[in-house]
Structure 1
């Protein structure tokens, strides 16, 4: 701010920040907005067209910045008026106004001290208390030092790698053209129709949740990414046009429309900041939600179209439109944790101006009070609003860390080398630099002691040491979390009787639930063509044997030998057919119960070779089949070699235990159990085989069989899937990295 002052202090002197005179720029216009519990003031900077919202306390402080009072006089006046701001709060607020160019520094008072002394602490605060008067001098020192020009230019260039904005068209002209045709959408009758349409769409999705879940899984199909990208771009253009038309509907001037790239993801935008001029809050909320309003209508219509369309590309495309226009829009645009439409609506409805700024300031003050015992400043918000703002800030920070980390990781993985550069820049801009600024602020709160570090510096070094030790522990020591291995319950040594040949089921001698012994006849098949073929082969064999005898009697030994060989070949074919005919009598190969339902429906059916007919098993003899991926191989070997007892949780809430067993020697892509396939709701990714309609695993998997005792076998059902937990051999950092890579 010194470059805006009329004079500079002498060398080695420090200006008392409370002697500075600040004046609000005349180009800033203020207007009030009546609320139920408090009044909000909107500042319109006519030079830039930007709007800022102030609460009553902030606005009262602004009215005192008339170019005649010093910040010290403003502080005393605020104390007299009952606004319990500290000196640091007044200085920080004036600094924020000057940074946004809403106010300018006029001059410093004539009694500015040139001795470098710090101002007296406010009443009731001792000089030795953490966060006392020295914070004011530190803030003044920080504010009086202009940033390096090259550093600011570097930050702007790095920020340009992450976000680029390109204005393309005059939004007011486009909105004026669209208003006659689409302005009715924001009237009361259209809103009633919208509610009915969205309700019907939600009902369709709710009643067909499984089908839509399958469509969600298809979103990750790389062959559909181009279609999804086109859908996303078109719907976002419609979204922004909804904002523009709604603003024009309420008589608001629309600014520029264009496209911006956030981490190279294209996003449309439109400038409707003049909506803050509207007095009625419901009009401002309608403009803020207009884009979501239009997209949800499109998503509901797509859900209804999906319901009416037959199976095909149109049905699938309608489902994708619903996913992009419905859940995706609610997650992004209507999410109050992101600074998008939902955030502004929440801020307006709760009457909390600058919700994000106030919340993060209070959250930061709470962290500093917890870690460094710095006294929390008086919040500009009153009552429950200050606590809600801090809670909102905490939720938004956590959400954005997870959100941005996923985006940065995706960019680094997709763009390879250049993506890694972008990831480094993003981590620096959003994480490293803010952290360094905060650490520098804490480090310079008080000057160093003569022979050592002050309280804040010692506390900061201690916290940094604990963090470094925690990172080192997480990088080296084994993760305290557990690995999860998918499992399925199956019968032990189960007999699955299949049709040996294409045939008809002639007789069924058992029913579901019957107890059978080994060797019991279960059913008989009938294949008349096979019997006829056997009779024909027998006749041909008799003919060849007769020829062999005749040729031998005529001393035609060579011809006799040929006929004999033909007869032997027919004998081998007859033996094969006799074996097939004998196999049509299906016997039980073990003792147990018939577990196949509806056995009475088998009688008279035509079955193909290999088709499953009956199952024989013992309910007291079950086992757990564990499917071990290659990256879990070593951890499973360590756990099984130590003879650990695994904890298994099955779907339905059943928990059992079983001793770990050794792995089978080789991995396989064969699907071990139909219930494990992702297409059936299981955990394993599968792909369709081109030569058949069966599925195979995308990645090879190893197997291990864990036997169950009789009591546990009776407590579980065959086909139940679940998770088996074993200790994790990776470090916590490696586990997080593997989890990100798997996504």
Structure 2
């Protein structure tokens, strides 16, 4: 049976119309996954419309001297197995008409044209309001500027430019690795208030060059760029350009090249800024260069190269997978799965053209939605922490755009969608049951509840040995790693100045004693001051000798002598207070954990069912906690730098603390005794996590409590 033999109730409305494409519409052939498609470009709006070959076979036959009926019949005769049916043809004409790509033999209805344009503008403004954090304002047509600049830049966009790019970026990576400590130190101050202005200036300059990179490559490959403007990225003005004309390129490699051009330029500029940063002294130029390096790296990895955000990486992935309109088609695929398998709508049509494409679309839809929720939630918290009113407005806008509007559309869809005509009752039933099931599971089913805290293993008796006096380390008397007893000599320092001072004081004492003897016979009035001088010198000699005795460092108690890097310090001058090592007992250990304030309530208010500790490197073997004690006071100093950000831990630390031990927020200290297990090696300083098991609780209650704690901590609510 021919496709055309299935009649449409609305066919009579379009059959006698004489329609054709507007003469200024441009048509290009493109191949996606080996299939031929036709891309229609509207030069007035710079919009694109993609048609499969079977649909183009009908559209190409539209002429002013033929009616729609005649053109369709000709298409059916020419391609009886693939020609679109009447209903599909009507939908195709409606979409072309809505896009203002058709013209008719009837006098143009200007009112309708302007009305459709107004509707399109209203939809654009609605999208801008819903995307309030990414609003765009066009300002300038850069096409002429690009035409003048392009002859000077063509060499840079060719093989010579690529060779230069690889060499420059490669050398910059080496420079960055060589200066890694300085880089890490300056990164800690990237968000300092006195750096905000330079950070934004570097960000804006980098983004301008990024967008010009897109524009130059697009113009170089034959595209047109007519819009340069300002995009408010989370209310921060940054430049943008419109290179949608690249969608019409036949070659997939050209479209990918346009998508990569911004990151390509950005990384090249970052490489140049690396050389500037490494070659300048601290100052404005030095800080600006570092900010541009940092922004280029972070923005490229987290945003531009990330295909889950609709930036450069998204368009590159779309071309690599040969799936145009990846975002919209992924959402359509998600809708198809719900309609077909949940609602039982047998007439639902999959937007995927193969099983592999269906998997890609579903995977992208799920990952994209989850990632956007996480990113926007983080943005809302970041903005709200600094500008509460603005954060509330953004939260309201997101609530309307992500919760209220989708719910209204879902209800309207369930109530009136013609696709659900034969399965509407099941759709309502399944939707209601799913919604009720979600609320039941989240609000009524107690689920496992626990929390974790970072900690470090400590010997119950250990002493950190610091140099009691200054001197040169001349001898290690007890090799590190051996067991020692109280009073055993560990190492010896030597300070020649102390011996000189002792000899000088001794000589002065002998002189004073001799003068005191003579005064007994010649000048008795001098006896009192000489006696005072002699006593002062004797005290000084005792002090020097006591300090000399400290040069022999002894074990304060029995235990293992631990000093892993001490052998490298032999022959060096050791200042007073320098850490030399530690002596620790290996009989009993305690696990010291830092519990944040928001989790500390569980320690005092809730019965803890169980607790266990897992150490890094042996996480598969937990140790049960046999007893614990909560120190009833707030702490700021972490038990070990390994628990903080700087030491690779998860606890935020103060940026102005070079030791990495001062926590950004107060915490409570828990000391736990552990059960013994021969499979787990207990070592002083070993880090891990303590996991507390709490009474089961529904997820909604858990999430509500965490939200309340978050608002209370950040905003005082």
**Common fold: TM-score over 0.5:** yes
CA contact (8 A) 2:137 2:229 kept: yes
* Cα pair distance change 1:273/1:677, threshold 3 Å: closer
The structural deviation recorded for 1:257 is 1.3
The structural deviation recorded for 1:614 is 4.4
Cα distance in 1 for residues equivalent to 2:582 and 2:266: 52
Matched residue SS, 1:698:
strand
* Structure 1 position 340 matched with structure 2 position 311: yes
1:91-240 matched pairs, under 5 angstroms: 96-102=95-101, 155=126, 158-159=129-130, 161-201=132-172, 218-240=189-211
Cα distance in 1 for residues equivalent to 2:416 and 2:157: 54
Cα distance in 1 for residues equivalent to 2:244 and 2:433: 46
* Structure 1 position 45 matched with structure 2 position 12: no
Match of 1:613 in 2: 580
Cα distance in 2 for residues equivalent to 1:397 and 1:207: 40
- Aligned partner (choices 561, 569, 593) of residue 594 of structure 1: 561
Cα distance in 2 for residues equivalent to 1:152 and 1:514: 77
* Structure 1 position 625 matched with structure 2 position 592: yes
* Cα pair distance change 1:382/1:263, threshold 3 Å: same
Cα distance in 2 for residues equivalent to 1:517 and 1:713: 28
Cα distance in 1 for residues equivalent to 2:368 and 2:214: 24
Cα distance in 2 for residues equivalent to 1:369 and 1:316: 57
Cα distance in 2 for residues equivalent to 1:661 and 1:87: 77
Match of 2:112 in 1: none
* Structure 1 position 466 matched with structure 2 position 459: no
* Cα pair distance change 1:421/1:391, threshold 3 Å: same
Matched residue SS, 2:253:
helix
1:574-593 matched pairs, under 5 angstroms: 580=547, 583-593=550-560
Cα distance in 2 for residues equivalent to 1:658 and 1:541: 70
CA contact (8 A) 2:508 2:537 kept: yes
CA contact (8 A) 1:55 1:353 kept: no
* Structure 1 position 435 matched with structure 2 position 407: yes
Match of 1:416 in 2: 388
* Structure 1 position 680 matched with structure 2 position 675: no
Matched residue SS, 2:306:
coil
Cα distance in 1 for residues equivalent to 2:252 and 2:570: 73
CA contact (8 A) 1:669 1:697 kept: yes
The structural deviation recorded for 1:233 is 0.9
Match of 2:688 in 1: 722
What whole-Å deviation, never above 9, does each CA across 1:81-137 have from its counterpart, x for those lacking one?
A: 445989986676555444434459999xxxxxxxxxxxxxxxxxxxxxxxxxxxxxx
* Structure 1 position 705 matched with structure 2 position 705: no
Matched residue SS, 2:633:
coil
* Structure 1 position 670 matched with structure 2 position 644: no
* Cα pair distance change 1:427/1:47, threshold 3 Å: same
What whole-Å deviation, never above 9, does each CA across 1:305-364 have from its counterpart, x for those lacking one?
A: 667778888676545433322452244233333333333333344443433333321221
* Structure 1 position 26 matched with structure 2 position 11: no
CA contact (8 A) 1:446 1:454 kept: no
Matched residue SS, 2:14:
strand
Match of 1:484 in 2: 452
* Cα pair distance change 1:622/1:534, threshold 3 Å: farther
* Structure 1 position 649 matched with structure 2 position 649: no
Cα distance in 1 for residues equivalent to 2:605 and 2:273: 51
Cα distance in 2 for residues equivalent to 1:353 and 1:688: 45
CA contact (8 A) 2:58 2:83 kept: no
The structural deviation recorded for 1:234 is 0.8
The structural deviation recorded for 1:172 is 0.8
The structural deviation recorded for 1:697 is 3.2
Match of 2:379 in 1: 407
The structural deviation recorded for 1:703 is 2.2
Matched residue SS, 1:173:
helix
CA contact (8 A) 1:651 1:720 kept: no
CA contact (8 A) 1:38 1:351 kept: no
Match of 1:56 in 2: 53
Q: Which moved more, 1:241-250 or 1:406-415?
A: 406-415
* Cα pair distance change 1:16/1:347, threshold 3 Å: same
What whole-Å deviation, never above 9, does each CA across 1:615-645 have from its counterpart, x for those lacking one?
A: 3224454432212222222223467x74833
Match of 1:511 in 2: 479
Cα distance in 2 for residues equivalent to 1:576 and 1:519: 21
Match of 2:260 in 1: 289
The structural deviation recorded for 1:175 is 0.7
Aligned length: 675
Cα distance in 2 for residues equivalent to 1:561 and 1:711: 72
Match of 1:7 in 2: none
The structural deviation recorded for 1:662 is 0.8
CA contact (8 A) 2:474 2:571 kept: yes
Cα distance in 2 for residues equivalent to 1:579 and 1:542: 22
The structural deviation recorded for 1:402 is 2.5
The structural deviation recorded for 1:77 is 6.2
* Cα pair distance change 1:587/1:362, threshold 3 Å: closer
Cα distance in 1 for residues equivalent to 2:629 and 2:683: 24
The structural deviation recorded for 1:420 is 0.9
The structural deviation recorded for 1:255 is 0.5
Q: Which moved more, 1:720-729 or 1:83-92?
A: 83-92
The structural deviation recorded for 1:232 is 1.5
The structural deviation recorded for 1:442 is 1.4
What whole-Å deviation, never above 9, does each CA across 1:396-440 have from its counterpart, x for those lacking one?
A: 333323333333443333331133123211331244212320232
CA contact (8 A) 1:658 1:706 kept: no
What whole-Å deviation, never above 9, does each CA across 1:535-558 have from its counterpart, x for those lacking one?
A: 5897799899999999xxx9x9xx
The structural deviation recorded for 1:590 is 2.0
Matched residue SS, 1:439:
helix
CA contact (8 A) 2:134 2:231 kept: yes
Cα distance in 2 for residues equivalent to 1:710 and 1:313: 57
CA contact (8 A) 2:252 2:319 kept: yes
Match of 1:9 in 2: none
